Amino acid sequence: MTFGPATRAEGVARMESFVPRMGRRYTTGRNFDRGPGQHRDVSCLSPWLRRRLVTEEEVVMAAIGAHGLEGAEKFVQEVFWRGYFKGWLERRPSVWAAYRDGLADDLAALEHDHDLQHRVAEAESGRTGIDCFDAWVQELVETGYLHNHARMWFASIWIFTLRLPWRIGADVFYRHLLDGDPASNTLSWRWVAGLHTRGKYYAAQSCNIAKFTGQRFAPAAGELAEVTEGLEGLEPEGLPELQALRKARAPLARVPSLVLVTEEDGRLEELGLEQVEICGAVRLSASHLRSPRGVAEPVAEFEAGALSDIAQRAGVVATPMRAESPEALVALAARVGARQVVTAYLPEGPLGDWMQAAVPLLEAEGIAFCEWQREWDLAIWPHATAGFFKVKKQIPRIVAQRQLL
């Protein structure tokens, strides 16, 4: 399977071609991993959705328009999971910081543990001897994609059978997945490990793998660990307290503005771009921030394509900039006479961390940092306080409120 260009046109075409399968066919076939190039019952839209080249809202509207809310229920719920994970992490930002800092500690420990180095290298190169796992490694590296069920099996085997640090496994995904998202990736791995919902973890089982891979794989008895508990002991203090959602500063109209084009939102033209006085624009590449070990080249290429497409459709001439020294951004903003830097909301993640370092430097120059925030997120995130069920209950109300029926 190959992914086409990182453009809105490609994403819309893929969405429209999948609309007939967003109902019953998705409900009955979504859990089957049929192998590379055979993922016909799932949309494979995630690289475009992650960057909002196609938005969650328009995909939900398309599904409901074709199948009704009840008929498209499972598909719609899967789209809402993306908002749930983002909102959950916004309410508990220390969980992202713990992942980021914990990964640094894990990688530092890896340098001094030669046995662990060897076992991680075997897993990352697909040489564990567990046929299904090794095949998924190959698919991940070659395509930048894995079926969601395969991601769960992979993570469970990595954590419980191979007994490897979960954050390094999450880092493997984040470095290679074209749809890599800090919230979805981090919290999905935590869920499998038993850290997201206390007392619940995900155990990969041979019978389940055999059934949902169409017998392509069937691990032998004893090949997979029998899981009896999660990793709750790693965080005996439990989950951190909920925080209030961060309030973004809205851009001011008719103020000289430097516009940041990032992969966090591919529809700047929807967000009020015409209301600001644009004195400059930047295509800010940040995929390299995903991991201290670097990211796969296809990830960086997909991001670059998306940034170019976003800027072109928004009608701005944007200077390419790599998110390295925040001082470079400040210097450019000052040079073009900007009084505010404007972008789509930056949620918890590596780019958000980078911008946190830049904001005080901008403010010292009298330049405000402003963000557009989507109503879609504001409708979902307040309910992302515990498990998904609280968000799931709100789906009919949110759909009606957003006039998606």
pLDDT digits (tens, 9 = 90+) for 247-271: 999 999 999 999 999 999 999 999 9
Predicted pLDDT of residue 238 = 84
Q: Which residues of the chain have pLDDT under 70?
A: 1
The residues, any chain, with a CB within 8 Å of residue 206's CB and separated by 6 or more, are 218, 219, 220, 221, 223, 224
Scanning 32-72, the segments in alpha helix (DSSP H) are 46-50, 56-71
Provide the mean pLDDT of the chain: 96
**Single-letter residue type at 43:** S
Confidence at residue 392, expressed as pLDDT on a 0 to 100 scale = 98
Separation of alpha carbons 260 and 280, rounded Å: 9
Predicted TM-score of the model (pTM)? 0.97
Tell me the H-state helices in 241-374.
297-314, 326-335, 350-364
DSSP 167-197: HHHHHHHHHH-TT--HHHHHHHHHHHHTSSS
Pick the CATH number of 94-234 from 1.25.40.80, 1.20.1600.10, 3.10.620.30, 1.10.579.10: 1.10.579.10
Specify the domain boundaries for CATH 3.40.50.620 within the chain.
256-372
Query: CATH class for domain 256-372?
Result: alpha beta
Per-residue pLDDT at 237: 80
Q: How far is CA 153 from CA 140, 160, 216, 353, in A?
A: 13, 10, 14, 30
| Span 67-102, pLDDT tens digits | 999 999 999 999 999 999 999 999 999 999 999 999
How far is it, in rounded angstroms, from Cα 209 to Cα 216? 9
> How many whole angstroms separate alpha carbon 382 and alpha carbon 54?
23
Res 217: pLDDT: 97
pLDDT score recorded for residue 1: 62
Place of tokens 């995130």: 381
Q: Which residues contact 191 (CB under 8 A, 6 or more apart)?
A: 197, 200, 201, 202
